[in-house]
Amino acid sequence: MEVKITSENLETYKNGDLPLVVDLWAPWCGPCKMLGPVISELAEAYDGRIVVGKCDIEENDDVAIDFGVRNIPTILFFKGGKLVDKFVGAAPKDVLDEKFKALL
């Protein structure tokens, strides 16, 4: 299950016990809509091992600014409170699955 990431709760999730994956998206973004179901499937597959969140950059533009995000979709990967990887653009599930596995 995905959590909603906001400017207010990002630090809490980022510094939690589990690795964090954040999907930065916007409602008007076509590739984001295509990637959404893939992220949801991975969130379900890694439930209890990785926290997966979605962050609407229209509502939380400061998150995008803080991480230098210029294009969406962008996926941020955090472990131990630190950004360890970043992926820009849509991708097939198997490519993202490898990124998820690398967090464990």
Which has the closest alpha carbon to 40: 58, 63, 21, 59? 21
Is 55 tagged catalytic?
no
Q: Which residues of 11-43 are buried (b: 16+ CB within 10 A; e: fewer)?
A: eebbeeebbbbbbbbbeebeebeebbebbeebb
Return all residues near 47 (Cβ < 8 A) that are at least 6 apart. Answer: 1
Catalytic hit among 10, 21, 22, 29:
29
Catalytic hit among 32, 50, 72, 76:
32
Q: Is the CB of residue 74 less than 8 Å from the CB of residue 87?
A: yes
Residues annotated as catalytic (active site), given as ranges: 29, 32
